């Protein structure tokens, strides 16, 4: 017969713990489940995984399997177990839990389904997908919110296409409208978890969770960086040169601010704690942008001419 390496089939080391074997089986069984897998050999893979797990999950069967010897390789033809090797083991206690032994290979039949097959449930039913249960995978979707949703907290509705299992057991994409509470102070890249709203489970198992990854819509005034909010604020040349008291629009309302005298283009002024809320609230930064009156205005042009002749100012003098 052809030897089957059950450890290789499940993708685990020979010294793997019972929990590691179970975890690997569940992951691979979900991948190759005939109801959800697009792999051409999914059904065969699924049966092979069930066979390997049936042996390695049971301490008695695993011990017997491990004692077959180490002088063979996976896929080797002509493998024969040691004579009367089964006599040292009692397989009648655990029972066959996944289905009929006829679903499994001749290797399994010859080792575990022969003289001791009475210990298995051999009702003749075929092992089907209905005998396997696995919680659905978590799904991750990116959703766009406004800055004000994070500033104030809000309730939003999102229309998403999500997988569901129809009455025939097939997975289809169906449009769903979800009402979601946006927590105050949530930042871009953070997620909102909706329990059991993700990919459907297999069998009677529950669906996975839906993770909504938050991103901000572009704002007409503000830029967001982490917890901080930035505003490019126009200022006149005389406000920059002489200093001024002005009002600044923030997402929380107008705030008074002083522009220091002799401020230059790009100077950054901070309003502490006026950014996104949270354990460590962000700050609000005002970036000054010089805005000059157009020279098409006669008065402005006359003043520019006067400044040119009287100030003798060269902003590039330090370059030479």
Using one digit for the tens of pLDDT, what is the confidence trace for 223-255?
A: 999 999 999 999 999 999 999 999 999 998 999
pLDDT for the residue numbered 131: 54
pTM: 0.57
Provide the angle, in degrees to the nearest 10, between the axes of the packed helices 42-56 and 18-32: 170
DSSP symbol at 134: B
Burial class (CB in 10 A: 0-12, 13-18, 19+), 19: exposed
Residue of 66, 164, 47, 154 lying closest to 105 (CA atoms) = 47
DSSP β-ladder status, 228-235 and 284-290: parallel
Report all structural domains of the chain as residue ranges with CATH numbers, in order of start.
6-131 (1.10.287.110), 139-216 (2.60.260.20), 222-311 (2.60.260.20)
Long-range contacts of 109-114 (CB under 8 A, 24+ apart): 110/1, 110/81, 111/64, 111/65, 111/68, 111/81, 111/86, 112/55, 112/61, 114/86
Output the CA–CA distances (angstroms, integers) from residue 319 to 199, 314, 315, in the order listed. Answer: 63, 10, 9
Phi and psi at residue 140, to the nearest 5°: -120, 125
Long-range contacts of 240-247 (CB under 8 A, 24+ apart): 240/264, 240/265, 240/288, 240/290
Which residues, 6 or more positions from 301, have their beta carbon under 8 angstroms from its beta carbon?
A: 295
Using one digit for the tens of pLDDT, what is the confidence trace for 269-287?
A: 999 999 998 888 999 999 9
If you average pLDDT over every residue of the chain, what do you get? 80
């Amino acid at each position: 017969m052809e030897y089957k390496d059950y450890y290789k089939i499940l993708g685990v080391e020979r010294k793997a713990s019972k929990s590691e074997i179970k975890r690997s089986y569940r992951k691979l069984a979900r991948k190759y489940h005939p109801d959800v897998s697009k792999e051409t050999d999914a059904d065969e893979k699924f049966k092979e995984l069930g066979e390997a797990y049936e042996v390695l999950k049971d301490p008695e069967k695993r011990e017997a399997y491990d004692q077959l010897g180490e002088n063979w390789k996976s896929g080797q033809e002509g493998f024969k177990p040691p004579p009367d090797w089964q006599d040292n083991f009692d397989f009648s206690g655990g029972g066959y839990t996944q289905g009929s032994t006829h679903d499994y290979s001749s290797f399994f039949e010859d080792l575990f389904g022969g003289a001791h097959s009475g210990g298995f449930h051999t009702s003749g039913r075929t092992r089907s997908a209905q005998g396997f249960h696995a919680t659905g995978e978590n799904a991750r979707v990116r959703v766009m919110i406004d800055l004000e949703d994070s500033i104030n907290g809000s309730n939003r509705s999102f229309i998403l296409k999500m997988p569901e299992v129809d009455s025939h057991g097939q997975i289809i994409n169906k449009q769903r409208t979800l009402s979601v509470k946006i927590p105050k102070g949530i930042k871009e890249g953070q997620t909102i978890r909706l329990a059991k709203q993700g990919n459907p489970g297999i069998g009677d198992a529950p669906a996975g969770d839906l993770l909504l990854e938050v991103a901000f819509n572009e704002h007409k005034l503000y830029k967001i960086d982490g917890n901080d909010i930035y505003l490019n604020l126009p200022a006149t040349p005389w406000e920059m040169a002489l200093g001024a008291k002005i009002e600044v629009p923030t997402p929380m309302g107008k705030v008074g601010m002083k522009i220091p005298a002799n401020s230059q283009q790009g100077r950054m002024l901070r309003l502490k704690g006026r950014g996104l809320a949270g354990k460590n609230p962000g700050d609000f930064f005002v970036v000054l942008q010089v805005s000059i009156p157009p020279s098409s205005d006669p008065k402005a042009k006359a003043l520019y001419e006067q400044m040119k002749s009287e100030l003798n100012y060269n902003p590039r003098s330090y370059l030479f």
